[in-house]
Amino acid sequence: MPTISVNKQQLFDQIGKNYTTDEFDELCFQFGIELDEDTTEDALKNNEEPELKIEIGANRYDLLCIEGIAQSLNEYLERAETPKYKLSKPTTKLFIDPSTEQIRPYACAAILRNIKFTKYSYASFIALQDKLHSNICRNRTLVAVGTHDLDSIKGPFYYKALPPRDISFVPLNQTKEFDSAELMEFYKQPEQKNNLGRFVHIIESSPAYPVIKDANDTVCSLPPIINSEHSKISLETKNIFIEITATDKTKAEIVLNQLVAMFSRYCEDQFCVEPVEIVSEHNGQSRITPNFEERTVDTSISYINSALGLEQSPEQIASCLKKLSLHATPSKTNADVLNVKLPITRPDVLHPCDVMEDAAIGYGYDNLPKGTKLSNANFIASALPINKVADIFRIASSQASWLEVMPLTLCSHDENFKFLRLEDDGSQVVKLANPKTLEYQVVRTTLLPGILKTVKENRKHSLPIKVFETGDAVFKNDKLERKSYNERHWGAIYAGRTSGFEIIQGLLGKIMQTFRTEWLADYGANSSGRGYWTEQDDSLATYFPGRGASIFFRTREGEQPKKIGHMGVLHPEVMNNFEIPYAASYVELNAEAFL
Amino acid sequence: MSAFQLDVLQQLNALGKIDSTLATFPKEDPQDILSALSSLNAHGKIEYTRKDSIQYDLSEEGKDILANGSHEMKLVQLIKDFGKLKIKDVNEKLGPKGKVGQARAFKNGWIVKSKENELELSDKLQGGVNPSDETKELLHKIVDKKDSEINAKVLADLKKRKLIVPKKVTDFVIVKGNDFSLDLNKLETDITADMIVSGSYKDLKFKPYNFNSKGLPVQSGALHPLNKVREEFRQIFFSMGFTEMPTSQYVETGFWNFDALYVPQQHPARDLQDTFYIKDPSKSDLPEDRTYIENIKAVHENGKFDSIGYRYDWKEEECKKLVLRTHTTAISAKMLHELSKDPKPTRLFSIDRVFRNEAVDATHLAEFHQVEGVLADYNITLGGLISFMEEFFAKMGVTGLRFKPTYNPYTEPSMEIYSWHEGLGKWVEIGNSGMFRPEMLEPMGLPRDLRVLGWGLSLERPTMIKYKVQNIRELLGHKVSLDFIENNPAARLDEDLYT
């Protein structure tokens, strides 16, 4: 969720009251935003102006600046009406060239005439563009905004894509001219990396870069990277040309609407915006932007009342909605329907359920009737079968004096293979594409790495160290929808001055006895009943040669036995790989065998 | 009781007090005396005090001097016998110690050296005067235990000359104890099986117990605290009729983890920064229910079911990307899709692991556990949801909840659940809840009036509060201390959890 810093005094001036921190916190709580921090104390020390840091919903782009927060809170407090945004007549055009199809196909534009900035509103205008860029614009990949001093350029404007070497201009805050290929290299320098360098990848590999030019062929901007120095705006700028380029048309129009809705309040003709005629014949996107047509969501009154547990009249619901800037009027044709008009600042409303939520917020969550308590009587609860099996393992192991541990499921490739003296044949392990550290390369196929790491971290604990885990390993399986599955495993270790193999054998026996499973001494062809046995298995490279065994389990008389696990004395190389200065024995079973 | 212990009691009885065990029992080893006395003392028979002191024995050389005179005396005798003695002959006649005797005889002024390098008696000893052999006399005093008469400097000199060897001597003074008696009956420390069988306990005296002690540490296994808290939550869910969901599926498809939950394909949660994507296997299948997939496409792309949709180009390929699930809600979605075959009021829950590609710090790990409840019923109200949450949290001892409007892509309305934290003196978020959006439920084919409430919280957070753990890495993962696991108490959630 985005956090917005607003000047405390400015906001309180705009909402008409100097709230205490607690009062304002409560207002935010009711409205559905969150006061993260009031910097008053620090600000006073540092002789700065106090700020409020406010966390807003990720879908409320209209709250990304102080103007929007103040407007919404004023409407919520019933101190203001939703502004009536209006369009004047277009005076210029933006031509979109088919060449942009290959890189960034959509554009729209608008003009703010006779705007008068103050220090605060100018800073807010710049900050809002940043906030939009980092949120809805997804770091300029989906949408990018350019704002220009209209008096320094001349329409009509042209949006096209050109080879990088063919675009030359002095970029914003630079003094010399670059061609755009040079400019990409310049921004990629390490000292630029955290600013504009992080956007370079969006267009860098394209054979043609997007560019906006004016009637005189002057470069206005190189979207989504940088504007030109030539057309830059300042506190004194009177007329602003706003151009938006995008790969997502819906978001482009949302961004344009938010910008002009928030800042047209500073125009001489308040809340009036001059549209721009977009000429984009090749893809059928010719139109006039911005589009201020208010959308209407028809919402059922009985739906709202039923969801809220209320019996409100249409008027009562309308007055709740008005606090959230939604304007409801009863339908002329259907008595159960409210026609809810959405201001251009509320594109987050997608469905009548969003209207219903705003009706609830307007009413106040605290005020909602609790209704009749839901009965628990008709529901028969049950545990997941594998969790019941796992609990039997867990309780039996802890009763046998082992300690339960819960290591992570993710580990390094080496920990799952090389350190255990195993080879990865690529058939089993799920590998991650984008881990931030080497610790998380694969999803484990055995519990052993986590258990060994736990022993290593606890090597100063008194000996012997006896720990177990019941947890999931993950294996690939191409036949499944998700191409992999979890398998519940149980693993237990004994680590000490001696390997304690007989003790691990004894624990296995205890577990098997808990699962009603006999030890079959004369296994194989000579027996046919339920039971388990172990067979030396020198293919288990994790164990010391001659000291590793596979564990077999026959579930019932006459069934084929299944190999359900392995046990043995861990190979000294394994202990060294995990930096454990002890000898150890280990057993691991597939718990699903007991389902 | 040993024979020696009996001997001690008898001597004590006869003498009234034993001033020195060294004197009374000279042959007994001091260690044996000590153990016998401490045992008698424990039974209240005696009191004793210990005195450690240093005594001296003669070395072999010292014993020779005591028998045959000092080296200097021997030299004087020799010179007397021969009149004079060549210096070079001293070694031959008296052995290596002759040099010592020569030096000390010079020092005592007993002998002089002639011009011919011969030793002669000094004037002092002319005429048959016999000097006294001081060294021998000192050693006599040592043997007679009169070493207290020798001054410390001289004693140190004897030690340095290796004529005497110090030894530590332990002596005890013994007096009668409160329960002094000569009988052999000792106080019993424990009731034994034999005593019970024979009935002998009736005639025995038992040692008083020291109750001001914690006893011996017990050897035991232990369950992990996180799983103990998990079990508490499970019991709360079971008590309210919730069935556990099959969440054993860490690898999830983009479809179930995101698209089915109406998370648009450009949503930041789908970023590489936040979600672990899978490299191998590379691509998933999609559910067989094509109608469902078409509905999902429609509701994302152009809108359906009264929603205008997100209005973007929805790509099926994006759904086939495999991820490590970022929430168990992916499984809830699958369960709800199955519910659409036979829609009815349903209660489900899960507590299982989820994964986030986050930077690790004191409160964030790449893995943690999500507690999730899903409740489907006809025409539930928002107020009903609130009171149900109150009932649920009351079972873990958390009351006085408040609900704050919030945003979540797949619930509307969405409510963060807050409870008052006494310690912090403020409202803290303890969970998240909401009604699943129609855009999530209706594509599955669930009826419109079946509303579904979902809520969730992390398992780690209440556990960290319960067990006062500051760093999540000390709770989940391999850095946990086994001592912590061994020693943590039961997880009773209804014991003032958030205070």
Domains along chain B with CATH numbers: 60-160 (1.10.10), 225-487 (3.30.930.10)
Are B457 and B351 within 8 A, CB to CB? Answer: no
Contact B307 A351 (CB under 8 A): yes
Q: Which CATH number fits the domain A295-366, given the four candidates 3.30.56.10, 3.40.1260.10, 3.40.50.1370, 3.30.450.20?
A: 3.30.56.10
More confident residue, B273 or A238: A238
Rounded distance between C-alpha atoms, residue B392 and residue A374, angstroms: 11
Distance of CA A197 to the CA centre of its chain: 23
> Which of A374, A380, A382 faces B244 most closely, judged by CB atoms?
A382
Rounded distance between C-alpha atoms, residue A240 and residue A117, angstroms: 11
Contact B222 A398 (CB under 8 A): yes
According to CATH, the topology of domain A86-289 is Phenylalanyl-tRNA Synthetase; Chain B, domain 3 (3.50.40)
Architecture of domain A385-594: 2-Layer Sandwich (3.30)
Q: What is the pLDDT of residues A291-319, one digit of tens each?
A: 999 999 999 999 999 999 999 999 999 99
Rounded distance between C-alpha atoms, residue B113 and residue B77, angstroms: 16
Rounded distance between C-alpha atoms, residue A340 and residue A355, angstroms: 8
Of A54-63, A491-500, B102-111, the poorest mean pLDDT is in B102-111
Q: What is the pLDDT of residues B87-97, one digit of tens each?
A: 777 777 788 78
> What does pLDDT average to over chain A?
94
Rounded distance between C-alpha atoms, residue A181 and residue A179, angstroms: 6
Mean of the pLDDT values across residues A202-224?
A: 95
Rounded distance between C-alpha atoms, residue B9 and residue B13, angstroms: 6
Q: What is the pLDDT of residues A239-285, one digit of tens each?
A: 999 999 999 999 999 999 999 999 999 999 999 999 999 999 999 99
pLDDT band at residue A66 using 50, 70 and 90 as cut-offs: very high
- Farthest-apart Cα atoms in chain A, separation: 99
Q: Determine the residue type at B308.
A: I
Nearby residues of B97 by Cβ (< 8 Å), 6 or more positions away: B61, B71
> What CA–CA distances, in Å, run from A91 to A84, A94, B222?
22, 11, 78
Rounded distance between C-alpha atoms, residue B138 and residue B429, angstroms: 90
Mean of the pLDDT values across residues B409-422?
A: 89
Using CA atoms of A341, A344, A346, A349 in order, give the dihedral in degrees to the nearest 10.
50
Rounded distance between C-alpha atoms, residue B461 and residue A368, angstroms: 29
Tell the residue number behind the tokens 């004191």, with chain if given. Answer: B362
Are B398 and B430 within 8 A, CB to CB? Answer: yes
What is the strand order of the sheet A442-443 is part of? A410-411, A442-443, A430-432, B278-280
Of A87-96, A373-382, A428-437, the poorest mean pLDDT is in A373-382
Rounded distance between C-alpha atoms, residue B78 and residue A323, angstroms: 130
Rounded distance between C-alpha atoms, residue A195 and residue A140, angstroms: 13
Relative to beta strand A430-432, strand A403-404 is unpaired
Percentage of chain A modeled with pLDDT above 90? 90
Are A43 and A50 within 8 A, CB to CB? Answer: yes
- Reference A569, options A527, A595, A589, A540; nearest CA is A540
Does the structure show a pLDDT above 80 at A192? no
Sign, CA torsion A326/A329/A332/A335: positive
C-alpha triplet B309, B311, B316: angle, nearest 5°: 90
Residue of chain B nearest A139, judged by CA positions: B268
| DSSP, residue by residue, B360-427 | -BTTB-SEEEEEEEEEEEET--HHHHHHHHHHHHHTTT--S-EEEEEEETTEEEEEEEEEEETTTTEE
> Which of B353, B405, B481 faces A361 most closely, judged by CB atoms?
B405
Contact B402 A306 (CB under 8 A): no
Q: Is the N-terminal amide bond of A464 cis, ω within 30° of 0?
A: yes
| DSSP classification of residue B130 | P
Rounded distance between C-alpha atoms, residue A439 and residue A436, angstroms: 8
Are A440 and A423 within 8 A, CB to CB? Answer: no
> What CA–CA distances, in Å, run from A275 to A97, A151, A152, A278, B4?
20, 16, 19, 9, 116
Does the structure show a pLDDT above 90 at B74? no
Q: Hey, is B256 helix, strand or coil?
A: helix
Q: Hey, is B257 helix, strand or coil?
A: helix
Distance of CA A195 to the CA centre of its chain: 22
- Reference B163, options B146, B130, B140, B144; nearest CA is B140
Rounded distance between C-alpha atoms, residue A317 and residue B52, angstroms: 97
Q: How many CB atoms lie within 10 A of CB B267?
A: 16
Q: What is the pLDDT of residues A476-490, one digit of tens each?
A: 999 999 999 999 999
CA–CA min distance A325, chain B (Å): 16
Tell the residue number behind the tokens 């200097």, with chain if given. Answer: B72
> Which of B277, B322, B360 faces A482 most closely, judged by CB atoms?
B322
- Reference A551, options A516, A590, A515; nearest CA is A590
Nearby residues of B209 by Cβ (< 8 Å), 6 or more positions away: none
pLDDT band at residue B1 using 50, 70 and 90 as cut-offs: low
Tell the residue number behind the tokens 């901007």, with chain if given. Answer: A221
Q: Determine the residue type at A80.
A: A
Give A340's strand partners: A297, A328
Q: What is the pLDDT of residues B20-58, one digit of tens each?
A: 888 888 888 888 888 888 888 887 888 999 988 888 888
Tell the residue number behind the tokens 């959230």, with chain if given. Answer: A324
Q: Determine the residue type at A592.
A: E
pLDDT of residue B496: 62
Using CA atoms of B9, B13, B16, B22 in order, give the dihedral in degrees to the nearest 10.
-40
Quote the ipTM score.
Answer: 0.92
Q: What is the pLDDT of residues A106-139, one digit of tens each?
A: 999 999 999 999 999 999 999 999 999 999 999 9
Find which of A21, A294, A365, A479 to mutate to test the B interface (most B CBs within 10 Å of its CB).
A365
Nearby residues of A110 by Cβ (< 8 Å), 6 or more positions away: A242, A256, A259, A260, A273, A274, A275, A276, A289, A290
Q: B395-431 burial, b for 16+ CB within 10 Å, e for fewer?
A: bbebeebbbbbbbbbbbbbbbbbbbbeeeeeebeebb
Rounded distance between C-alpha atoms, residue B495 and residue B479, angstroms: 27
Judged by phi (left if over 0) then psi (alpha if -120 to 50, else beta), residue B267 lies in: beta
Q: Does B286 lie at the interface with A, CB-CB under 8 angstroms? A: yes
Q: Does A216 lie at the interface with B, CB-CB under 8 angstroms? A: no
Rounded distance between C-alpha atoms, residue B452 and residue A142, angstroms: 33
Find which of B226, B318, B412 to mutate to test the A interface (most A CBs within 10 Å of its CB).
B412
More confident residue, B88 or A591: A591
What is the strand order of the sheet B164-176 is part of? B17-18, B164-176, B46-58
Q: Does B357 lie at the interface with A, CB-CB under 8 angstroms? A: yes
**Domain edges within chain A:** 3-76, 86-289, 295-366, 385-594
Contact A32 B345 (CB under 8 A): no
For residue B341, count CB atoms less than 10 angstroms from its CB and return exposed for 0-12, middle for 13-18, buried for 19 or more.
Answer: exposed
Contact B478 A351 (CB under 8 A): no
pLDDT band at residue A103 using 50, 70 and 90 as cut-offs: very high
Residue of chain A nearest B218, judged by CA positions: A401
**Which residues in chain B have Cβ-Cβ distances shorter than 8 Å to A29?**
402, 404, 427
A3-76 and A295-366: identical CATH topology = yes
Contact A407 B285 (CB under 8 A): no
Question: What's the per-residue H, E or C state across A56-117?
Answer: CCCCCHHHCCHHHHHHHHHHHCCCCCCCCCEECCCCCEEEECHHHHHCCCEEEEEEECCECC
Reading the block at residue A443, the tokens are 């999803």
Q: Does B477 lie at the interface with A, CB-CB under 8 angstroms? A: yes
- Reference A21, options A56, A67, A52, A47; nearest CA is A52
Reading the block at residue B350, the tokens are 């899960």
Does the structure show a pLDDT above 60 at B498? no
Q: Does A360 lie at the interface with B, CB-CB under 8 angstroms? A: yes
Judged by phi (left if over 0) then psi (alpha if -120 to 50, else beta), residue B262 lies in: left
> Which of A357, A374, A472 faces B250 most closely, judged by CB atoms?
A472
- Reference A481, options B288, B340, B245; nearest CA is B288
Are A247 and A144 within 8 A, CB to CB? Answer: no
According to CATH, the topology of domain A3-76 is Phenylalanyl-tRNA Synthetase; Chain B, domain 1 (3.30.56)
CA–CA min distance A242, chain B (Å): 23
pLDDT of residue A594: 95
What is the strand order of the sheet B84-86 is part of? B84-86, B118-121, B111-113
Rounded distance between C-alpha atoms, residue A589 and residue A517, angstroms: 14
> Which of B223, B242, B250 faces A486 most closely, judged by CB atoms?
B250
B85 φ, ψ (degrees, to nearest 5): -145, 130
Q: Which helix (H) or strand (E) holds B162?
A: none
